[in-house]
């Protein structure tokens, strides 16, 4: 096994294209994740770095591993091949129906957890997650903030069906209510208007002209609906900033993930919006604002 492992690792190291938005993926972590998948024990690339590799003794298993490696080298996302992606300590299902959760989005979720711990209305803070995709943010918040009443929506029927599958897998389906609809449209009820503690969104924020220029691993395999943010990349963000105040209680928060170069402008725009009394920009390790928080008057 040692010789086989070393040879396969050398092959992946020489030929694998790695994307900066998936820093957890290396030649070694990729090989381990594919190895577990070939053995019938699928793990996310992060989880695959733990534990001893199973022995691939069957005559069918090594060819199976070779097939999985070929798919990865051809540009298919690792998370689609393994069917798993780690997010906020949850080993989630991953598929073509929704965006693959990114490590960078964990910054948004951690900020939301802090807000709920510090400012939410007891006993059950109400949280709405829009553009939910696979449900990763909604489930992470439900998991880490046990008291939260979490609801989520997405425009895509396929994404919502997949999010519910994720709930079964994570045993968290009873903690999140899902709706199909455009942004805040499913929540136009008296239970939500002026009563929501937190609205969170990791929206599409790539400008339309750049979507076609994205790496083929993304553009050819993940849903365009999850990336295309309109001509300037901020169409969804602007709509949400306009709609959110009607739903937030006084002191409630709007939390958004934003694209590179968008953060400072959105902070300034929100500071000029009379509906909000406090605006915060959270920078990543490179100093770029990637999370914007705004508190309702």
Q: What number of other Cβ atoms are within 10 A of residue 213's Cβ?
A: 8
Shared domain check, 190 and 241: yes
Q: Name the domain count of the chain.
A: 2
CA angle 289, 115, 267 (to 5 degrees): 30
| Domain at 113, CATH number | 3.40.50.150
Shared domain check, 77 and 107: no
User: Is the pTM value of this prediction over 0.85?
Assistant: yes
Tokens of 142: 């439900």
The CA radius of gyration of the chain, in Å to the nearest whole number, is: 20
Query: Residue 57 has what pLDDT?
Result: 77
Kindly state whether residue 224 falls inside one of the protein's structural domains: yes
State phi, psi for 158 to the nearest 5 degrees: -65, -40
245-278: pLDDT as tens digits: 999 999 999 999 999 999 999 999 999 999 999 9
Shared domain check, 252 and 145: yes
Q: What number of other Cβ atoms are within 10 A of residue 202's Cβ?
A: 25
Kindly state whether residue 49 falls inside one of the protein's structural domains: yes
d(CA 2, CA 252): 55
Shared domain check, 285 and 166: yes
Kindly state whether residue 98 falls inside one of the protein's structural domains: no
Which stretch of DSSP H or E encloses residue 186? none
Residues of the chain with pLDDT under 70: 1-3, 120
Domain of residue 204 covers 103-296
């Amino acid at each position: 096994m040692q010789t086989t492992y070393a040879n396969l690792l050398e092959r992946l190291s020489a030929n694998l294209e790695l994307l900066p938005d998936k820093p957890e993926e290396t030649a070694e972590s990729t090989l381990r994740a594919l190895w577990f998948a070939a053995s019938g024990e699928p793990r996310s690339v992060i989880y695959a770095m733990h534990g001893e590799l199973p022995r691939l003794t069957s005559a069918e298993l090594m060819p199976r591993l070779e097939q999985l490696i070929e798919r990865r080298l051809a540009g298919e996302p690792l998370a689609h091949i393994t069917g798993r992606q780690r997010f906020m300590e949850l080993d989630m299902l991953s598929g073509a129906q929704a965006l693959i959760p990114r490590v960078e989005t964990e910054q948004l979720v951690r900020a939301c957890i802090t807000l709920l711990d510090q400012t939410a209305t007891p006993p059950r803070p109400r949280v709405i997650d829009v553009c939910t995709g696979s449900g990763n943010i909604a489930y992470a918040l439900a998991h880490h903030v046990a008291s939260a009443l979490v609801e989520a929506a997405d425009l895509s029927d396929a994404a919502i069906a997949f999010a519910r599958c994720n709930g079964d897998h994570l045993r968290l389906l009873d903690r999140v209510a899902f709706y199909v609809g455009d942004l805040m449209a499913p929540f136009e009820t008296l239970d939500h208007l002026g009563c929501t503690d937190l609205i969170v969104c990791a929206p599409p924020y790539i400008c339309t002209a750049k979507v076609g220029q994205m790496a083929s691993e993304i553009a050819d395999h993940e849903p365009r609906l999850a990336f295309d943010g309109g001509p300037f990349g901020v169409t969804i963000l602007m709509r949400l900033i306009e709609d959110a105040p009607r739903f937030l209680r006084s002191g409630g928060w709007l939390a958004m993930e934003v694209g590179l170069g968008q953060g400072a402008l959105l902070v300034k725009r929100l500071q000029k919006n009379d509906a909000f009394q406090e605006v915060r920009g959270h920078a990543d390790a490179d100093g770029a604002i990637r999370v914007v928080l705004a508190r309702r008057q």
